[in-house]
Structure 1
Amino acid sequence: MTQVYQYSLKRDTGPADAAIVLGAAVYGERPSPVFRERINHAIDLYHDGSVQYLIFTGGVGNRDEIAEAEAARNYALRMGVPDEAILIETVSTTTAENLIQAKRLVDEHQLGRVLVVSDPLHMKRAVSLARDVGLDAYPSPTPTTRYRSWRSQWSFLLRETYFYAKYTLGI
């Protein structure tokens, strides 16, 4: 548990070729508040010159109208990111799948160093998975989170500790 928490405090702001934004829920055609935090952080990285590309990941969830990556792309376009700076994959439904599909895009576009963008407590597992699929990946957690209360943070920490333990044990 302490590994997951301590890793959540690490951040790397670039420079990198791309930021990989891990998918999250979409409401209708709009990113959920959690997903919007991730997208906004990636947009900031793009606008300040830390990354050249944004890679949005995520397929269509159970109740989603469009793929998570498409919702993120539409949002980023409205926020002034040019279409040519956006890459998407629309088939993944898990963190591991997000990163496998992102790796395909990284290879296809001959990109190198990437920043993984997600919630702070998701970083340990996400960056570990990214490196396992062969990405030159570094953490760039959102500076703000929708998990603000101690109760919601504790719940997310327990969840991520469980999933990280499963990952490290190969379960």
Structure 2
Amino acid sequence: MIFSSLVLALLLYVAFSIYLYSSKSSGMSADAAIVLGAAVWNGKPSPVFQERINHAIKLYQSGQVKKVVFTGGVGVGDKKSEAQAAKEYAVSHGVPARDILLEDRSTITQENLAFSSPLLAANGLSVVLIVSDPLHMKRAMTMADDLGLNALPSPTETSRYQSYSSRGNMLFSETYFYIGYKLRHF
């Protein structure tokens, strides 16, 4: 009984900390924004990915970042990488191709960040904003910190996770993956 109560308390604590972290956003300027990959549908960014890309476009156009790093490899059944689909979308919305870097091998968040690190170093970029959905930020920032990236959070201002049900499912999923990540890196 005590063990199950402790486990439940831990789960609630982690979920609450993820929820609270979701509103943290840095208004600081950075060298680049790293946009964490998400699904591509028929060669185009999914609605969730499109929100992330739109946020990066806004950061670029406001001058808050000078470069954008799009991440994500080729998903099962896809012909185009997430990074390439994001680049095409951003270019069509006014971001010059010369200011876009691609990391197109990753399949998970940790790889998005780890595989971006050499791109940053090769281009003299040191301070980055991590762009993702608000409820994904705590896990992404923990990974960025563990990888030694000089990163700040910049969650999307809008999200496709609007309903209580979809936000609850996302929070449950992030709690599960955050705890799993922490246990593997304990």
Q: Distance in 2 between matches of 1:45 and 1:117?
A: 10
How much does 1:65 deviate?
A: 1.9
How much does 1:102 deviate?
A: 1.0
Q: Which has the larger radius of gyration?
A: 2
Q: 1:81 aligns with which of 95, 104, 107?
A: 95
The within-5 A match list for 1:1-171 is 1-170=15-184
1:55 alignment partner, SS class: strand
1:87 alignment partner, SS class: strand
2:86 alignment partner, SS class: helix
TM-score by structure 1 length?
0.98
Q: Distance in 2 between matches of 1:131 and 1:111?
A: 16
Please say if residues 112 and 136 of structure 1, whose CA atoms lie closer than 8 Å, have aligned partners that are also in contact.
yes
- Moved >4 Å (runs of 4+): none
TM-score by structure 2 length?
0.90
1:140-162: CA deviations, max 9, x gaps? Answer: 00000000000000000000011
1:99 alignment partner, SS class: helix
Q: Distance in 2 between matches of 1:42 and 1:166?
A: 28
How much does 1:169 deviate?
A: 1.4
How much does 1:13 deviate?
A: 2.9
Instruction: Give 2:100's aligned amino acid.
Output: I
1:80-121: CA deviations, max 9, x gaps? Answer: 101110000110000000000111111111111100000000
Q: Which runs of 5+ in 2 are unaligned?
A: 1-14
Instruction: Give 1:15's aligned amino acid.
Output: S
Instruction: Give 1:162's aligned amino acid.
Output: Y
